[in-house]
Structure 1
Amino acid sequence: MVTTLELHGYDEFQKYVANIDPNSRSVVVYFTGEKLPSGLSWCIDCVEAEPVVKAYLNELKKEITFVFVDVGNPETWRNKACPFRTDSRTRLMVIPTIIVWNGVQRLEGSQCAKRELLNMLFEDED
């Protein structure tokens, strides 16, 4: 029931969200640091949250699209002009961040690794 998608960088993200129905609440976006050759993100909080999020998604019985978006390498992310930070639709301050697209619900940082908060995010999303 959960469809997942991976996007790399701001350009791919921008192209994808341009085609989302403005009234849709069935898209959830997870912003994370770019993966290293090891397959893990350079972002320690992202590495901690990802297995919790993926396990939760495997059990979720909802029709949603869950979009994994890598925000780039550490230098790109730490730049104050990083478009993920400055875009009024995302306004990221930390990664990982999970946003219900076209909604107000979001989890930031260590919140993303807490199953009970994921439950609340997806319950509120109805």
Structure 2
Amino acid sequence: MFKDHIGIHFLIFKISRAANFIQKMRLQELLSEIDRNAGKNIFIYFTGSKGKDGKSWCPDCNVADPVITECAKKLPEDSVLIRCEVGDRPTWKDPNNEYRKHDKFRLTCVPTLIKWGTQQRLNDVQCGKRDLVEMLLED
């Protein structure tokens, strides 16, 4: 089921028989989802929002999407990958964007893939490199 809120979409679905893949949009929803999945390995993938054509305004996100989606299929059942769209380009570029300012995330670029509760993260073009994504998701 798709919902639309300020041009940002979210969807909850299961990838293959592997880990949960949860798509969230607002910061409070993301934080609630993290709390709901406490005790699991949590990975968060921050990406630019997609337009009506199904493509993000962010070229590096369009490269990273299929890589991260495919690698996530290998995650164990006790892992969760949360996909979080940071907004359209003007929303993301706003220096007051909630994901830029939040002390737990402090995003500087999209795409960004993080392992929650650690310092491990991939930024920008790193998210499109299968070997790096696999290493982060396997740790």
Stretch deviating more after TM superposition (31-40 or 6-15):
6-15
Runs of 4+ in 1 over 2 A off after TM superposition: 9-12, 14-21
Partner residue of 1:62?
76
Q: Deviations over 1:80-112 (max 9, x none)?
A: 111100111101000000010111110000000
- Does 2:107 match 1:92? yes
Structure 2: where are the runs of 5+ without partners?
A: 1-17
More helix by proportion, 1 or 2? 1
Q: Tell me the number of residue pairs that the alignment of Structure 1 and Structure 2 aligns.
A: 121
Amino acid in the other structure paired with 2:81: F
Q: Deviations over 1:28-59 (max 9, x none)?
A: 0000011100111111110011011111122x
Per-residue deviation, 1:18 = 4.2
How large is the RMSD of aligned CA atoms in angstroms?
1.5
Q: Percent identity?
A: 32
Distance in 1 between the 2:65 and 2:51 partners? Answer: 14
Alignment TM-score, normalising by the size of structure 2: 0.80
Task: Say which of 20, 24, 28 aligns to 1:7.
Answer: 24
Quick one: higher RCO (CA 8 Å, sep 6+), 1 or 2?
Answer: 1
Structure 1: where are the runs of 5+ without partners?
A: none
8 Å Cα contact 1:25/1:103 also seen in 2: no
Partner residue of 1:113?
128
SS of the residue 2:23 aligns to:
strand
Partner residue of 1:32?
47
